[in-house]
Amino acid sequence: MKLINSQCATQLSRNPGNTHDVWFFTSELEGERASSFRQERWCRIFLQKGARVCIFNIRGAFSYTYAVFENEAQFDAFRESCRTKAKPMASIREGRAAKLIRRIKHLFLIDLFLPNNFLLIFHAHRLLVGRRSRNALMASSPPFSVAVAGAILKRLHSSRIVFSVDMRDAWGLHTAMGGIPWIKRTIERAVLRSADYVTTVSHGLKNEYEATYGIKVGVMYNVATHYFDLPPGFAEMDWASLSADIDIQRLKLIYTGSTPERFYDLISIIGGIKHFRDSQPALAERLQMIFVGACEEVQREAKRQGMTGSDIVFVPHVPQHMSKLIQANADALIFLGYHGDGNKGVVSTKIFEYLLLGKPIIPFSLHEGSDVDRILRRYCGRSLNLHTKHDISNALASAASIGLGILPCLTDRDDIKHLIKDYADHASNLLSCRL
């Protein structure tokens, strides 16, 4: 176990009656994955409210860090130290072995039984013994194991904990993760019903949780606060340094991130790009699709459909600061909607990063009325619902012939910043211990 800021930790154990402590069970705060920014956002808001934030952060199977922060300066120093030490890592591991391991992990619920989960529970239990007043505890899932840990502690110390679960993604209700659905949903139901508050990232997930588990759920969109204070200009991208296949003369439509197995309708998306090339080759020469990150599934589908040439270029995972530079230099940004009814309520930080950059966005597979569709219509005045290969081919042809101005694009960055208020309101509720 790694203990940071031991003086504060000693004060915490000696002063168990502090009503403004927020315990945060996390898994990403020592890295730069996209999910870390939502967790960072929560920590900053609690600190701005005058709370003392104690993080219980797990990584892998064995790593466990406990750290206490009295103010944002301490938290900034911690995050900067983590960024300096962290190795660039995609949000998913690729390859056949990785896929097999993921399937086994979800089938046998291995995440719930890793050593650092037990260490977290025992450590938090020890700190709670003898505590006189309520303590706010927020678990940020995934991994769902931290929510399970919070539920166990809530059962053991119900009078001392105000328990909040922030579901950044579905677990038992997820359609692509594998495992035995009824077992996972039974566990998920018990954990979420034990919580005093449940929050999530979209109205789609909120509706599904409420209908399935009979609970009340709040919504806080992933508003990408790490893009609020962007510089007035970015350095020019050296495209040749990314890939020799990138043609600087063509309009660059770029996707940054990962494409997990079974998440996206890649058959239709690649089919649409191929149909555009086959049916209008002259127009196709004006556009180039660039996928940056762990996009093995896209690459495999492109190969399967016989995509040749440089219409689609693949670039390996890059650090977050480089990803931001690539996005800022793109002509348009590609958003992939989760493949399922209503896009299953999946709203990633990515859509808000794209919006705040003020770039045209071409969304594939967005269902009308889904959260992202409504976000685009609300803040950009338009959206696109492209599902079939013909839909996608026609949209690409219009973008190439008429211009990228036909695509959704945010014009007023300040218009979207009010969404952070939902976080502040929820933080106030937790700190006041109102049930």
pLDDT tens digits, the chain, 435 residues: what are they?
566 643 444 344 434 344 478 999 998 787 777 678 889 999 999 999 999 999 999 988 899 999 999 999 999 999 888 877 766 555 555 566 666 676 777 777 888 999 999 999 999 999 998 777 788 999 999 899 999 999 999 999 998 899 999 998 889 888 767 788 899 999 999 999 999 999 999 999 999 999 999 999 999 999 888 888 887 778 899 999 999 999 999 999 999 999 988 899 999 999 999 999 999 999 999 999 999 998 999 999 999 999 988 999 999 989 888 999 999 999 999 999 999 888 888 898 899 999 999 999 999 999 999 999 999 999 999 999 999 999 999 999 999 999 999 999 998 888 898 899 999 999 998 888 643
Residues 382 and 278 placed together within one structural domain of the fold: yes
pLDDT score at 12: 43
Residues 251 and 123 placed together within one structural domain of the fold: no
Q: Do the domain assignments include residue 434?
A: no
Q: Do the domain assignments include residue 435?
A: no
Residues 164 and 16 placed together within one structural domain of the fold: yes
Q: Do the domain assignments include residue 427?
A: no
Q: Do the domain assignments include residue 146?
A: yes
Q: Do the domain assignments include residue 326?
A: yes
Residues 304 and 326 placed together within one structural domain of the fold: yes
Residue finishing a domain among 172, 203, 220: 220
110: which residues sit within 8 A by CB, 6+ positions away?
A: 104
Residues 168 and 259 placed together within one structural domain of the fold: no
Residues 191 and 306 placed together within one structural domain of the fold: no
Token pair for residue 429?
A: 């509720």
Is the dihedral angle over the CA atoms 356, 362, 365, 370 positive or is it negative? positive
HSE-CB at 305 with a 13 A cutoff on CA atoms is 21
Residue finishing a domain among 220, 244, 277: 220
Residues 390 and 296 placed together within one structural domain of the fold: yes
For residue 293, give the CATH number of its domain.
Answer: 3.40.50.2000
Q: Give the Cα separation of 18 and 133 in Å (integer).
A: 7
pLDDT score at 19: 45
- Amino acid in position 187: I
Residues 254 and 354 placed together within one structural domain of the fold: yes
Q: How many domains does the chain have?
A: 2
Its domain, for residue 93, covers 2-220
For residue 115, give the CATH number of its domain.
Answer: 3.40.50
Residues 237 and 168 placed together within one structural domain of the fold: no
pLDDT score at 159: 86
Residues 313 and 386 placed together within one structural domain of the fold: yes
Q: Give the Cα separation of 302 and 307 in Å (integer).
A: 5
Torsion of CA 228, 232, 233, 234, to 10 degrees: -30
Report field, pTM of the whole predicted structure over 0.75 = yes
Q: Do the domain assignments include residue 400?
A: yes
Residues 59 and 173 placed together within one structural domain of the fold: yes
Residues 238 and 186 placed together within one structural domain of the fold: no
pLDDT score at 195: 96
Q: Do the domain assignments include residue 253?
A: yes
Residue finishing a domain among 220, 246, 281: 220
| Cα angle for residues 12, 431, 46 (degrees, 5° grid) | 75
Q: Do the domain assignments include residue 258?
A: yes
220: which residues sit within 8 A by CB, 6+ positions away?
A: 166, 199, 200, 201, 419, 422, 423, 426
